[in-house]
Structure 1
């Protein structure tokens, strides 16, 4: 069963502290925001979802860390508390809504070694930046998605990922493929459309 596009209206927001305790390694943060780049993604994909990120618990320092790939910066890590309070460009309060979601396949991948492989890739990409050329390639992938054109192989993600491409690549480390139609790019909405991904809670921003 896929995540209903109206889930954010149907699911009452829960306090950050309450939701934080439920977060597991590999959980997803699906966002529906109204800033400029988010509107572009929503326009391109004809969906409410504008961004996706992945969460990890660092128990040793009592932190929940969110890993994401964002425009002008690249791949970065921020505390969950910061992620829900402002955008990557510093807009505060967060201009939208955030859903915590979970891939059912993660429960079957809870063995230490596979999860370590996923985390190694996710954290290993930290600091990868976007160049002007990378941003142009990403813009073309977005355009191909909007106009329902298959993405040329030459435009595929290399080391510069749209947020959803980055998270999908993390999941691939566990042999968990996120289905998509091959048009434009793997988008945040493709995670919501995957029947193995289920809503956990809406986080109050």
Structure 2
């Protein structure tokens, strides 16, 4: 499992994390919800969700694709203090990682603008519920292949945005991509976990 590299990383407070997170960082979630547990089991991973992070006006914004809303933008604080307007913390672990290229001195920061321009272009696109069924069929029955469309599961959304950085993230042999594939990429470095 690529997620083994996240074992034992430091956990820091949300307030400290806000100063450490860079635009372009990645949020990995390990949810304790029923759907999250199914995703983790099906992908043999500790992670059930992945998203992008963006600094904007002293806020850290999560850009993600979720089952109920499709592609959306929410404050990271939403995960820590009011997840899904419940006035509760997200039930599970939250981890921050970074692709090595973001810290590279030769990295053209203008590419990040293109990346988040792409993310904004995809806002309100539907969550790819059919893709989840295909993934379950592939894992359970050994059949099916990924086909590109205009709907996104969380990892497809992140992958689509990283293409703007001219970065190809890992996929499986049938073309599917899960949070585990992104976490397992050798260029993705765990930074820390977050608590409220």
- Whether TM exceeds 0.5 here: the answer is yes
1:3-14 equivalences under 5 Å are 3-4=3-4, 7=7, 10-14=8-12
Residue 11 of structure 1 deviates from its aligned partner by 2.5
The answer as to 2:50 corresponding to 1:52 is yes
- 5+ residue gaps, structure 2, are none
Contact residue 61 and residue 74 of structure 2 kept, 8 A:
yes
The answer as to 2:135 corresponding to 1:142 is yes
Residue 90 of structure 1 deviates from its aligned partner by 4.2
Residue 37 of structure 1 deviates from its aligned partner by 1.6
The residue number in structure 2 matching 1:193 is 184
Q: How many residues align?
A: 194
The residue number in structure 2 matching 1:101 is 97
Greater alpha carbon shift after TM alignment, 179-188 vs 17-26: 179-188
Name the CA shift for 1:3/1:143 in 2 (closer, same or farther; >3 Å): closer
Name the CA shift for 1:80/1:142 in 2 (closer, same or farther; >3 Å): same
Contact residue 45 and residue 145 of structure 1 kept, 8 A:
no
Q: 1:20-41, CA deviations, whole angstroms, 9 ceiling, x for partnerless residues? A: 1011111000111111221121
Name the CA shift for 1:12/1:111 in 2 (closer, same or farther; >3 Å): closer
Question: TM-score normalized by structure 2?
Answer: 0.88
Greater alpha carbon shift after TM alignment, 181-190 vs 26-35: 181-190
Secondary structure of 1:17's aligned partner: helix
The answer as to 2:137 corresponding to 1:125 is no
Residue 75 of structure 1 deviates from its aligned partner by 0.4
Correspondence for 2:153 among 148, 162, 175:
162
Name the CA shift for 1:197/1:150 in 2 (closer, same or farther; >3 Å): farther
